[in-house]
Structure 1
Amino acid sequence: MSNLVQYDAALLQKLGLSEQEAQELEANGVSLQEYAEMVGSDLDSEADQIDARPVRWQIVHAARAFTNEATGEVRQTLRGVVPYFHVTRALFLGEGQDRPDCSSMDGKYGVYFDVELNREQRRECATCPFNKYGSDPKGGKGKACKEMRRLFLLEEGSNMSSVVTLPPTSLKVWDRFVSGLLYKGTPLAAVEVELSLEAKQNGAQTWSVLKSPQIVRRLSPVEYVKVRSVREELEQAAQRYTVGLDDYMQGAGDEASVTADEASRTSA
Structure 2
Amino acid sequence: MQKQNLVVAEAPKFELAVLDGANQENLEELIRENFGDVEITSIFDRVKFPTGGALNFELPVEDPENPVLMPEIVGVIVDHHRVNAYWPGEFTGEGNPPQCYAHDGVHGEGNPGGLCAVCPLNRPGSKGEKRKACKNMWRLFILTSGEAFPMMLTLPPTSVGAFYKFLKAFTFKNRLKLNQAVIKVGLRRVKNANNVPYAEATFSVVEKLPDETYARIKAYVEAMKPILRRPPAVRAGEMAGTVDIPAEEVAQGDQAFEELPF
TM-score by length of 1: 0.69
Partner of 2:99: 101
Structure 1 residues 236 and 159: CA distance shift in structure 2, 3 A: closer
Partner of 1:220: 210
CA distance in 2, matches of 1:244, 1:149: 18
Query: Is residue 48 from structure 1 mapped to residue 44 from structure 2 by the alignment?
Result: no
Structure 2: state its 5+ residue gaps.
1-13, 18-29, 234-238
Structure 1 residues 78 and 182: CA distance shift in structure 2, 3 A: same
Aligned residue for 2:170, secondary structure, equals helix
CA distance in 1, matches of 2:214, 2:161: 26
Structure 1 residues 170 and 126: CA distance shift in structure 2, 3 A: same
Structure 1 residues 128 and 98: CA distance shift in structure 2, 3 A: same
Partner of 1:210: 201
Structure 1: state its 5+ residue gaps.
1-9, 15-43, 115-121
Aligned residue for 2:213, secondary structure, equals helix
Partner of 1:39: none
CA distance in 2, matches of 1:216, 1:130: 38
Q: Which has the larger radius of gyration?
A: 1
Partner of 2:134: 145
Query: Is residue 64 from structure 1 mapped to residue 55 from structure 2 by the alignment?
Result: yes
Aligned residues: 216
Give the superposition deviation at 1:92. Answer: 1.9
CA distance in 2, matches of 1:98, 1:234: 28
Partner of 2:87: 92
Aligned residue for 1:176, secondary structure, equals helix
Equivalent position to 2:168, from 179, 192, 213: 179
The Cα RMSD (Å) is 3.2
Partner of 1:76: 71
- Contact 1:149/1:167, CA 8 A, preserved across alignment: yes
Q: Which amino acid aligns with 2:110?
A: Y
CA distance in 1, matches of 2:171, 2:70: 28
Give the superposition deviation at 1:193. Answer: 0.8
Partner of 2:23: none
Give the superposition deviation at 1:229. Answer: 1.7
Give the superposition deviation at 1:90. Answer: 0.9
Structure 1 residues 113 and 128: CA distance shift in structure 2, 3 A: closer
- Contact 2:154/2:244, CA 8 A, preserved across alignment: no
- Contact 1:148/1:168, CA 8 A, preserved across alignment: yes
TM-score by length of 2: 0.71
Structure 1 residues 240 and 123: CA distance shift in structure 2, 3 A: closer
Of Structure 1 and Structure 2, which has the larger fraction of its residues in helix?
A: 1
Give the superposition deviation at 1:237. Answer: 2.8
Report % sequence identity.
21
